[in-house]
Amino acid sequence: MHRLSPAALGALLRVPRGRAPFSSSSSSSSSSSAPPQPAIAAKEPFPVELKAGKTYAWCSCGHSKRQPFCDGSHKKAAPGMSSLRFTPQEDGPAWLCGCKRTQNPPYCDGTHNGEEVQGAPLPPQP
């Protein structure tokens, strides 16, 4: 279900909460304190081509230099955060969240269109 027509993609980017079939798990341990706020890596989603059955690690902290995927930067830049591992069930294109504010991780749900993301400064690029 990652194959989207341009119209469906447009709807997805505007709809606040979408659903996509995949299995996921986080390697982080649970804590009773509030989770740290991720950095905004980009103000739009990243288009990617996913392979069914392959496990990916989506960057949830926003500090990876391999966006939208994890490069281990969270260990120093965002202790307490970890990547989100997920395994798509179908081959195909997908839009992975770059703002790290989606309510449907790792997929974009349109949250990036809000003022919190669009009005925020981006971290300096190397």
**d(C-alpha 18, C-alpha 77), whole Å:** 29
**Torsional class of 17: left (φ above 0), alpha (ψ -120 to 50), beta (otherwise):** beta
**d(C-alpha 70, C-alpha 41), whole Å:** 12
DSSP state for residue 69 in the 8-state scheme: B
- Which is closer to ligand FES, CB of 46 or CB of 74? 46
Min. distance of Cβ 110 from ligand FES in angstroms? 6
Chain residues in the site for ligand FES (CB under 6 A): 44-45, 97-99, 101-102, 108-112
- Which is closer to ligand FES, CB of 73 or CB of 102? 102
Min. distance of Cβ 90 from ligand FES in angstroms? 21
- Which is closer to ligand FES, CB of 82 or CB of 102? 102
